[in-house]
Amino acid sequence: GQFLEQTKTGLDILGARLLALDPYAPLQRGYSLVSKEDGSFVRDAKDMHPGERMHILLAKGRITARAEEIEEDQGCTDHALP
């Protein structure tokens, strides 16, 4: 009865929290993770150099690419898309 319902609600809340902490969850929303050849994640354009290889992890699959041009900006405060 009520105990089972409360337990289910509690488990649903915990499940949602775990999903929110999943580092791969944003991939399902169209984001990607970019890593260098050494496996470190790229968080700033200045961490890359023209000609350097990178791996782009998507929700479904991975792309290996090479940086052609590096443009530095203010990051998240600059919302202009290419």
Nearby residues of 21 by Cβ (< 8 Å), 6 or more positions away: none
Residue by residue, pLDDT tens for the chain (82 residues) are 899 899 989 999 998 888 888 878 889 889 999 999 999 999 999 999 999 999 999 999 999 999 999 998 766 665 555 4
Residue of 60, 65, 76 whose CA lies nearest to 34: 65
Nearby residues of 30 by Cβ (< 8 Å), 6 or more positions away: 59
Burial class of residue 56 (count of CB atoms within 10 Å of its CB; 0-12, 13-18, 19+): middle
